[in-house]
Amino acid sequence: MTSATLTPEAVIAQIEEWRGKEARCKPIGGGITNLNFLVTVENDDSPWGGRYVLRIPGAGTDAFIDRERELKNMVAAGDAGVSPPLLHLVEPGHCTVVPFIDGETLHPDTIAGHPEHIEKIIGAVRTYHDRAVFENRIDVFEMIRDYLVVACEVDAPHPIELEHTFPLVAAIEAAMQRDVPAFTACHCDLLSENFMLDRDGRMWIIDWEYSGAADPYFDLGDFCVEHPLTAEEERAILTTYRGQMDEHRYARMMLYKLVADCWWSVWAMIQCRQSKIDFDFFEYGMNRLRRFWSNAAQPDLKEWFALV
Protein backbone atom coordinates (compact mmCIF):
# COMPACT_ATOMS: atom_id res chain seq x y z
CA MET A 1 0.00 0.00 0.00
CA THR A 2 1.36 3.42 -0.98
CA SER A 3 0.79 6.74 0.73
CA ALA A 4 -1.50 7.70 -2.16
CA THR A 5 -3.99 4.98 -1.16
CA LEU A 6 -3.66 5.22 2.63
CA THR A 7 -6.46 6.63 4.74
CA PRO A 8 -5.82 8.18 8.16
CA GLU A 9 -8.07 5.53 9.69
CA ALA A 10 -5.89 2.76 8.22
CA VAL A 11 -2.76 4.38 9.64
CA ILE A 12 -4.31 4.94 13.07
CA ALA A 13 -5.34 1.28 13.22
CA GLN A 14 -1.67 0.26 13.02
CA ILE A 15 -0.57 2.22 16.09
CA GLU A 16 -0.42 -0.28 18.92
CA GLU A 17 -0.65 2.26 21.74
CA TRP A 18 -3.98 3.56 20.42
CA ARG A 19 -5.73 0.23 19.99
CA GLY A 20 -8.88 -0.04 22.07
CA LYS A 21 -9.07 3.75 22.42
CA GLU A 22 -11.30 6.11 20.52
CA ALA A 23 -9.18 8.10 18.06
CA ARG A 24 -10.87 10.87 16.09
CA CYS A 25 -9.15 12.65 13.22
CA LYS A 26 -9.81 15.71 11.09
CA PRO A 27 -7.81 17.29 8.27
CA ILE A 28 -5.44 20.15 8.96
CA GLY A 29 -5.31 22.56 6.04
CA GLY A 30 -2.45 24.65 4.73
CA GLY A 31 -0.01 22.08 3.38
CA ILE A 32 0.74 21.79 -0.34
CA THR A 33 2.87 18.64 -0.24
CA ASN A 34 1.34 16.18 2.24
CA LEU A 35 -1.94 15.33 3.95
CA ASN A 36 -2.02 16.29 7.64
CA PHE A 37 -4.56 15.30 10.28
CA LEU A 38 -5.21 16.24 13.89
CA VAL A 39 -5.78 13.03 15.84
CA THR A 40 -7.45 13.20 19.24
CA VAL A 41 -7.09 10.06 21.35
CA GLU A 42 -9.47 9.58 24.26
CA ASN A 43 -8.22 8.26 27.61
CA ASP A 44 -4.65 8.90 26.53
CA ASP A 45 -2.20 8.74 29.43
CA SER A 46 0.85 9.97 27.53
CA PRO A 47 2.50 13.34 28.34
CA TRP A 48 1.21 14.81 25.06
CA GLY A 49 -2.37 15.52 26.13
CA GLY A 50 -4.01 13.13 23.68
CA ARG A 51 -3.58 15.31 20.59
CA TYR A 52 -1.23 14.44 17.73
CA VAL A 53 -0.47 15.34 14.13
CA LEU A 54 -0.54 12.50 11.61
CA ARG A 55 1.18 13.17 8.29
CA ILE A 56 0.61 11.04 5.18
CA PRO A 57 3.13 11.90 2.42
CA GLY A 58 1.62 13.29 -0.76
CA ALA A 59 1.55 11.27 -3.96
CA GLY A 60 4.70 11.65 -6.08
CA THR A 61 6.77 13.25 -3.33
CA ASP A 62 9.35 10.46 -3.46
CA ALA A 63 10.64 12.18 -6.61
CA PHE A 64 11.96 14.91 -4.29
CA ILE A 65 12.30 13.42 -0.85
CA ASP A 66 14.39 10.64 0.65
CA ARG A 67 12.11 9.66 3.51
CA GLU A 68 14.76 7.72 5.40
CA ARG A 69 17.03 10.74 5.34
CA GLU A 70 14.17 13.01 6.39
CA LEU A 71 13.37 10.85 9.40
CA LYS A 72 17.00 10.84 10.58
CA ASN A 73 17.17 14.62 10.28
CA MET A 74 13.81 15.07 11.98
CA VAL A 75 15.06 13.05 14.96
CA ALA A 76 18.32 15.04 15.04
CA ALA A 77 16.39 18.33 15.00
CA GLY A 78 14.21 17.00 17.81
CA ASP A 79 17.31 16.12 19.81
CA ALA A 80 18.55 19.67 19.24
CA GLY A 81 15.33 20.93 20.84
CA VAL A 82 13.76 22.75 17.89
CA SER A 83 11.42 20.11 16.42
CA PRO A 84 8.64 18.06 18.02
CA PRO A 85 9.76 14.48 18.71
CA LEU A 86 8.85 11.68 16.32
CA LEU A 87 6.50 9.41 18.27
CA HIS A 88 5.32 6.89 15.68
CA LEU A 89 6.39 5.81 12.21
CA VAL A 90 3.89 3.71 10.25
CA GLU A 91 5.11 1.69 7.28
CA PRO A 92 4.62 1.21 4.43
CA GLY A 93 4.00 4.80 3.48
CA HIS A 94 6.41 6.69 5.78
CA CYS A 95 3.51 8.08 7.83
CA THR A 96 4.60 9.99 10.92
CA VAL A 97 2.99 11.02 14.19
CA VAL A 98 4.28 13.90 16.32
CA PRO A 99 2.74 15.77 19.27
CA PHE A 100 0.28 18.51 18.43
CA ILE A 101 1.80 21.88 19.30
CA ASP A 102 -0.82 23.94 21.12
CA GLY A 103 -0.11 27.40 19.82
CA GLU A 104 0.03 29.57 16.73
CA THR A 105 1.07 28.52 13.24
CA LEU A 106 2.86 31.56 11.85
CA HIS A 107 2.15 33.25 8.54
CA PRO A 108 4.08 35.79 6.46
CA ASP A 109 2.18 38.69 8.00
CA THR A 110 2.79 37.47 11.56
CA ILE A 111 6.53 37.30 10.90
CA ALA A 112 7.24 40.40 8.81
CA GLY A 113 6.84 43.43 11.04
CA HIS A 114 7.12 41.35 14.20
CA PRO A 115 10.73 41.58 15.46
CA GLU A 116 9.95 39.44 18.51
CA HIS A 117 8.94 36.54 16.23
CA ILE A 118 11.90 37.04 13.89
CA GLU A 119 14.32 37.03 16.81
CA LYS A 120 12.92 33.74 18.14
CA ILE A 121 12.97 32.18 14.66
CA ILE A 122 16.59 33.11 14.01
CA GLY A 123 17.49 31.86 17.49
CA ALA A 124 15.91 28.50 16.65
CA VAL A 125 17.66 28.39 13.27
CA ARG A 126 20.98 29.12 14.92
CA THR A 127 20.30 26.34 17.45
CA TYR A 128 19.92 23.57 14.90
CA HIS A 129 22.74 24.99 12.76
CA ASP A 130 24.98 24.67 15.82
CA ARG A 131 23.66 21.50 17.47
CA ALA A 132 22.15 19.15 14.90
CA VAL A 133 24.17 16.89 12.62
CA PHE A 134 22.70 15.83 9.26
CA GLU A 135 24.56 13.15 7.32
CA ASN A 136 23.33 14.03 3.82
CA ARG A 137 24.90 16.96 1.98
CA ILE A 138 22.93 19.38 -0.18
CA ASP A 139 24.37 21.56 -2.90
CA VAL A 140 21.42 23.73 -3.91
CA PHE A 141 22.79 24.31 -7.40
CA GLU A 142 23.13 20.57 -7.97
CA MET A 143 19.61 20.19 -6.59
CA ILE A 144 18.26 22.57 -9.21
CA ARG A 145 19.99 20.56 -11.95
CA ASP A 146 18.61 17.31 -10.52
CA TYR A 147 15.11 18.78 -10.43
CA LEU A 148 15.43 19.86 -14.05
CA VAL A 149 16.13 16.25 -15.00
CA VAL A 150 12.99 15.14 -13.16
CA ALA A 151 11.02 17.98 -14.78
CA CYS A 152 12.05 16.71 -18.20
CA GLU A 153 11.15 13.12 -17.31
CA VAL A 154 7.60 14.06 -16.25
CA ASP A 155 7.10 16.60 -19.07
CA ALA A 156 6.65 19.46 -16.60
CA PRO A 157 5.90 22.97 -17.85
CA HIS A 158 9.05 24.92 -18.69
CA PRO A 159 8.16 28.62 -18.99
CA ILE A 160 10.62 30.89 -20.74
CA GLU A 161 10.82 33.02 -17.58
CA LEU A 162 12.41 30.01 -15.85
CA GLU A 163 14.85 29.37 -18.68
CA HIS A 164 16.07 32.94 -18.48
CA THR A 165 16.99 32.58 -14.78
CA PHE A 166 19.72 30.02 -15.43
CA PRO A 167 22.57 32.34 -16.58
CA LEU A 168 22.16 34.50 -13.45
CA VAL A 169 21.94 31.44 -11.20
CA ALA A 170 25.11 30.08 -12.83
CA ALA A 171 26.86 33.38 -12.12
CA ILE A 172 25.74 33.20 -8.48
CA GLU A 173 27.04 29.63 -8.24
CA ALA A 174 30.46 30.76 -9.48
CA ALA A 175 30.52 33.65 -7.01
CA MET A 176 29.56 31.35 -4.14
CA GLN A 177 32.79 29.39 -4.55
CA ARG A 178 34.58 32.21 -2.76
CA ASP A 179 35.02 31.87 1.02
CA VAL A 180 32.57 28.99 1.38
CA PRO A 181 31.36 28.65 5.00
CA ALA A 182 31.30 25.31 6.79
CA PHE A 183 28.13 23.44 5.91
CA THR A 184 25.68 22.97 8.78
CA ALA A 185 22.38 21.19 9.39
CA CYS A 186 19.88 23.17 7.31
CA HIS A 187 16.11 23.00 7.00
CA CYS A 188 16.02 24.39 3.42
CA ASP A 189 12.26 25.07 3.45
CA LEU A 190 11.66 27.88 5.93
CA LEU A 191 8.10 28.79 5.01
CA SER A 192 6.20 30.70 7.68
CA GLU A 193 3.84 27.73 8.16
CA ASN A 194 6.80 25.62 9.26
CA PHE A 195 7.15 27.76 12.39
CA MET A 196 4.91 27.25 15.40
CA LEU A 197 4.88 29.41 18.50
CA ASP A 198 3.51 27.52 21.50
CA ARG A 199 1.58 29.02 24.40
CA ASP A 200 4.74 29.20 26.47
CA GLY A 201 6.47 31.35 23.85
CA ARG A 202 8.71 28.60 22.49
CA MET A 203 9.40 28.50 18.74
CA TRP A 204 9.18 25.11 17.03
CA ILE A 205 10.17 24.18 13.48
CA ILE A 206 8.43 21.36 11.59
CA ASP A 207 8.66 19.54 8.22
CA TRP A 208 12.26 18.48 7.57
CA GLU A 209 11.63 16.91 4.15
CA TYR A 210 14.20 18.97 2.25
CA SER A 211 16.80 19.16 5.01
CA GLY A 212 20.48 18.36 4.84
CA ALA A 213 23.95 19.68 5.54
CA ALA A 214 24.14 22.83 3.42
CA ASP A 215 25.41 26.39 3.28
CA PRO A 216 23.79 28.06 6.31
CA TYR A 217 23.28 31.28 4.36
CA PHE A 218 20.97 29.44 1.99
CA ASP A 219 18.70 28.75 4.96
CA LEU A 220 18.73 32.44 5.85
CA GLY A 221 18.20 33.56 2.26
CA ASP A 222 15.34 31.10 1.82
CA PHE A 223 13.74 32.41 5.01
CA CYS A 224 14.08 35.99 3.79
CA VAL A 225 12.54 35.35 0.40
CA GLU A 226 9.50 33.64 1.91
CA HIS A 227 8.45 36.73 3.86
CA PRO A 228 7.70 40.35 2.90
CA LEU A 229 10.55 41.72 4.99
CA THR A 230 11.97 45.21 4.82
CA ALA A 231 15.66 45.77 4.08
CA GLU A 232 16.08 46.75 7.72
CA GLU A 233 14.54 43.46 8.86
CA GLU A 234 16.83 41.48 6.55
CA ARG A 235 19.88 43.23 7.93
CA ALA A 236 18.59 42.60 11.46
CA ILE A 237 18.30 38.88 10.64
CA LEU A 238 21.95 38.69 9.63
CA THR A 239 22.99 40.73 12.67
CA THR A 240 20.96 38.51 15.02
CA TYR A 241 22.39 35.38 13.46
CA ARG A 242 26.04 36.47 13.61
CA GLY A 243 25.93 38.75 16.62
CA GLN A 244 27.06 41.68 14.49
CA MET A 245 26.59 43.00 10.97
CA ASP A 246 28.78 41.39 8.30
CA GLU A 247 28.34 42.82 4.79
CA HIS A 248 30.24 39.89 3.27
CA ARG A 249 27.81 37.28 4.64
CA TYR A 250 24.83 39.57 4.10
CA ALA A 251 25.63 39.56 0.38
CA ARG A 252 25.70 35.77 0.39
CA MET A 253 22.30 35.62 2.08
CA MET A 254 20.79 38.07 -0.39
CA LEU A 255 22.05 36.21 -3.46
CA TYR A 256 20.61 33.00 -2.08
CA LYS A 257 17.18 34.66 -2.12
CA LEU A 258 17.33 34.44 -5.91
CA VAL A 259 18.55 30.85 -5.87
CA ALA A 260 15.71 29.80 -3.56
CA ASP A 261 13.04 31.16 -5.89
CA CYS A 262 14.63 29.41 -8.87
CA TRP A 263 14.75 26.10 -6.95
CA TRP A 264 11.15 26.25 -5.79
CA SER A 265 9.85 27.35 -9.18
CA VAL A 266 11.32 24.20 -10.77
CA TRP A 267 9.84 22.19 -7.89
CA ALA A 268 6.43 23.73 -8.54
CA MET A 269 6.51 22.85 -12.24
CA ILE A 270 7.20 19.21 -11.35
CA GLN A 271 4.34 19.27 -8.87
CA CYS A 272 2.04 20.33 -11.70
CA ARG A 273 2.47 16.80 -13.02
CA GLN A 274 3.02 14.83 -9.81
CA SER A 275 0.81 16.18 -7.05
CA LYS A 276 -2.79 15.12 -6.40
CA ILE A 277 -3.38 18.03 -4.01
CA ASP A 278 -5.84 20.68 -5.19
CA PHE A 279 -3.46 23.59 -5.56
CA ASP A 280 -2.37 25.79 -8.48
CA PHE A 281 1.31 24.84 -8.58
CA PHE A 282 1.87 26.52 -11.94
CA GLU A 283 0.78 29.92 -10.68
CA TYR A 284 2.77 29.35 -7.49
CA GLY A 285 5.89 28.72 -9.57
CA MET A 286 5.23 31.71 -11.82
CA ASN A 287 4.82 33.98 -8.79
CA ARG A 288 8.23 32.84 -7.59
CA LEU A 289 9.72 33.60 -10.99
CA ARG A 290 8.20 37.07 -10.94
CA ARG A 291 9.76 37.65 -7.54
CA PHE A 292 13.09 36.30 -8.82
CA TRP A 293 13.19 38.96 -11.52
CA SER A 294 12.02 41.67 -9.12
CA ASN A 295 14.88 40.83 -6.75
CA ALA A 296 17.33 40.52 -9.64
CA ALA A 297 16.50 44.13 -10.54
CA GLN A 298 17.63 45.41 -7.13
CA PRO A 299 20.29 48.12 -7.50
CA ASP A 300 22.51 46.37 -4.91
CA LEU A 301 22.83 43.16 -6.97
CA LYS A 302 26.21 44.11 -8.45
CA GLU A 303 27.51 45.04 -5.01
CA TRP A 304 26.40 41.67 -3.60
CA PHE A 305 28.36 39.89 -6.30
CA ALA A 306 31.43 41.95 -5.41
CA LEU A 307 31.10 41.35 -1.67
CA VAL A 308 30.20 37.67 -1.54
Distance of alpha carbon 163 from alpha carbon 271, whole angstroms: 18
Q: What is the full per-residue pLDDT of the chain (308 aa) written as tens digits?
A: 445 568 999 999 999 999 999 999 999 876 677 899 999 999 998 888 899 999 998 776 776 689 999 999 999 999 999 999 999 999 988 999 999 999 999 999 999 999 999 999 999 999 999 999 999 999 999 999 999 999 999 999 999 999 999 999 999 999 999 999 999 999 999 999 999 999 999 999 999 999 999 999 999 999 999 999 999 999 999 999 999 999 999 999 999 999 999 999 999 999 999 888 889 999 999 999 999 999 999 999 999 999 99
CB 117, CB 223: distance < 8 Å: no
Q: Strand locations in the chain, DSSP E?
A: 23-28, 35-41, 51-56, 88-90, 95-99, 103-105, 184-186, 195-198, 203-205, 212-214
**CATH topology (fold) of 105-307:** Aminoglycoside 3'-phosphotransferase; Chain: A, domain 2 (3.90.1200)
Q: Which part of the chain is CATH 3.30.200.20? A: 8-100
Going from the C-alpha of 286 to that of each of 216, 224, 291, the distances in angstroms are: 26, 18, 9
What is 44-61 written as a DSSP string?
Answer: --STTTTEEEEEEPPTTG
Threshold 0.85, pTM exceeds: yes
Which residue in 248, 257, 256, 268 sits closest to 173, CA to CA? Answer: 256
Q: Which part of the chain is CATH 3.90.1200.10? A: 105-307
Distance of alpha carbon 37 from alpha carbon 15, whole angstroms: 15
Summarised one tens digit per residue, pLDDT across range 152-193 is 999 999 999 999 999 999 999 999 999 999 999 999 999 999
Going from the C-alpha of 278 to that of each of 2, 28, 31, 213, 293, the distances in angstroms are: 19, 14, 10, 32, 27
Where is 167: in which H helix or E strand?
A: helix 166-175
**CATH topology (fold) of 8-100:** Phosphorylase Kinase; domain 1 (3.30.200)
Summarised one tens digit per residue, pLDDT across range 21-65 is 999 999 987 667 789 999 999 999 888 889 999 999 877 677 668
Buried b (16+ CB within 10 A) or exposed e, 204-213: bbbbbbbbbb
